[in-house]
């Protein structure tokens, strides 16, 4: 069948959708074309609105999920921090109750320190899935004293928990140089032994013109209360090198708020800071009731720092090998070097071959007097991870001494020195 010559197909996107009269007016065709364009534009706009709605909804859902996980991660971190505080105070209570009585001291020594056990259960760097919370509760007997709903709630939060508890008393406290000038002299000796420890440090000092004796005196000048430059600091006025800075500065002459302030000290470079900062601290903050604040906890100070303190005795490979072997044996046996300060003299004789004698005995250079077995301040970090969100809670607590406990009238046996959530 032949198509009528007066008809021609209507086309839409090149497809025939009907026919039109050949005599149809151009005006009618134009109106139909405009209607089609308007329809296409309306559909395009509607599609844009729908696409925008879908994207906005997806973004909002993602934000809501992130906010939910962020809140969960915060509560996971807070739970870890509370566990660490509970263990720390429980450990301190045992020390006060059992350590003072000779008949129960052996029991306390057998138990050993408890405050660091979360480092094993919830390692900070790798963390532990909170589905294992009930195992932790069983290890420490919490199942019998804690509502099971608490553990189930922690498990329901999901995610991971990592905890790190460190004794700051195993590090050299620079703020001693503000609280006590006499004790600062011992702190300076400790710093010198650290800065001039082995052949590696000595070679670095020589190549970079670092003079340990001069540098520790500048640190003292920056922190101590007076404005008089220490003899041997390299300056006649302690403010000389700081006044030349832009803008001009002065020594702080007050305690450091954090260890990074040490970078303000003239001659203390970032390279030195990265290497030595792990062995230094500003905690605990000191007051008139803090006595012997310069003492380092032999049980928690790094073994390489202990080796620096006794560098004169550990000056040959045989002595170092004996020290490493004996140190390892003691730590594996009981988790510490000594259980009380009265044991230090005999322990050090066996460990490093040191004995107080001659003019050193009882003086500032008597290295037995530099050490203690008491822990005073603890840095606690708890990290909660849920989904893509990570929250970290960090704080420092100071244990109260006997004088502070007596004056507290039943208050908590600790004080908060630092707190940060990020």
Q: What structural domains and CATH numbers belong to the chain?
A: 68-169+382-421 (no CATH), 175-277 (1.10.40.60), 296-373 (no CATH)
CA 120 to chain centre: 16
Q: Is 18 helix (H, G, I), strand (E, B) or coil?
A: strand
Whether the Cβ atoms of residue 32 and residue 17 lie closer than 8 Å to each other = no
Query: How many residues are there in the chain?
Result: 422
Burial (0-12, 13-18, 19+ Cβ within 10 Å), 258? exposed
Task: Enter the pTM of the model.
Answer: 0.80
List per-residue pLDDT tens for the chain, 422 residues long: 455 555 556 655 555 555 555 555 555 555 566 777 777 788 888 888 777 778 787 878 888 888 999 999 999 899 889 888 988 888 888 877 776 666 666 776 677 788 888 888 888 998 878 776 666 666 656 555 555 666 777 777 778 999 999 999 999 999 999 988 889 999 999 999 999 999 999 999 999 999 999 999 999 999 999 989 999 999 999 999 999 999 999 999 999 999 999 999 999 999 999 999 999 999 877 665 567 889 999 999 999 999 999 999 999 999 999 999 999 999 888 888 988 888 898 999 999 999 887 767 778 889 999 999 988 889 999 999 999 999 999 999 988 877 777 777 777 888 888 899 99
Whether the Cβ atoms of residue 10 and residue 16 lie closer than 8 Å to each other = yes
User: Which tokens go with 99?
Assistant: 């350590």
Whether the Cβ atoms of residue 167 and residue 378 lie closer than 8 Å to each other = yes
User: Which tokens go with 166?
Assistant: 């460190």
Which pairing describes strands 377-386 and 371-372: parallel, antiparallel, or unpaired?
A: unpaired
Long-range contacts of 181-189, Cβ-Cβ distance < 8 Å, separation of 24 or more? 181/224, 182/364, 183/292, 183/293, 183/294, 184/220, 184/224, 184/294, 185/364, 186/294, 186/364, 186/369, 186/370, 187/294, 188/216, 188/217, 188/219, 188/220, 189/364, 189/365, 189/370
Q: What angle do CA 359, 362, 363 make, to 5 degrees?
A: 65
**What is the Cβ-side half-sphere exposure of residue 158, based on CA atoms within 13 angstroms?**
9
């Amino acid at each position: 069948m032949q198509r009528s010559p007066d008809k021609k197909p209507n086309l839409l996107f090149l497809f025939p959708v009907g026919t039109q009269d050949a005599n149809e007016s151009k005006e009618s065709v134009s109106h139909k074309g405009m209607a089609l364009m308007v329809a296409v534009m309306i559909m395009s706009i509607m599609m844009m609105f729908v696409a925008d709605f879908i994207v906005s909804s997806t973004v909002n859902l993602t934000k809501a999920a992130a906010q939910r996980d962020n809140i969960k991660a915060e509560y996971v971190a807070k739970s870890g921090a509370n566990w660490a505080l509970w263990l720390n105070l429980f450990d301190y209570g045992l020390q006060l109750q059992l350590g003072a009585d000779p008949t129960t001291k052996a029991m306390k020594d057998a138990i050993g320190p408890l405050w660091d056990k979360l480092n094993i259960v919830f390692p900070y760097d790798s963390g532990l899935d909170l589905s294992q919370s009930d195992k932790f509760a069983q290890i420490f007997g919490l199942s019998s004293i804690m509502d099971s709903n608490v553990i189930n709630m922690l498990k329901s939060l999901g995610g991971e928990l990592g905890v790190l508890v460190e004794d700051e008393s195993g590090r050299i406290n620079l703020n001693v140089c503000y609280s006590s000038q006499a004790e600062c002299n011992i702190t300076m000796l400790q710093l010198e032994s650290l800065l001039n420890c082995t052949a590696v440090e000595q070679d670095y000092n020589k190549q970079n013109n670092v003079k340990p004796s001069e540098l520790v005196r500048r640190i003292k000048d920056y922190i101590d209360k007076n404005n008089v430059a220490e003899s041997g600091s390299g300056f006649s006025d302690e403010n000389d090198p700081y006044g030349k800075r832009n803008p001009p500065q002065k020594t702080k002459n007050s305690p450091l708020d954090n260890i990074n302030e040490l970078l303000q000290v003239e001659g203390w470079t970032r390279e030195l800071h990265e290497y030595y900062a792990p062995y230094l601290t500003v905690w605990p903050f000191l007051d008139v009731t803090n006595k012997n604040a310069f003492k380092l906890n032999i049980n928690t100070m790094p073994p390489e720092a202990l080796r620096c303190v006794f560098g004169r005795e550990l000056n040959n490979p045989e002595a170092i090998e004996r020290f490493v072997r004996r140190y390892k044996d003691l730590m594996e046996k009981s988790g510490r070097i000594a259980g009380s300060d009265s044991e230090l003299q005999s322990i050090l004789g066996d460990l490093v071959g040191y004995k107080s004698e001659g003019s050193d005995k009882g003086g500032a250079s008597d290295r037995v007097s530099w050490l203690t077995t008491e822990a005073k301040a603890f840095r606690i970090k708890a990290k909660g991870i849920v989904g893509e969100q990570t929250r970290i809670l960090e704080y420092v607590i100071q244990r109260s001494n006997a004088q502070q406990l007596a004056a507290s009238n039943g208050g908590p046996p600790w004080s908060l020195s630092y707190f940060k959530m990020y």
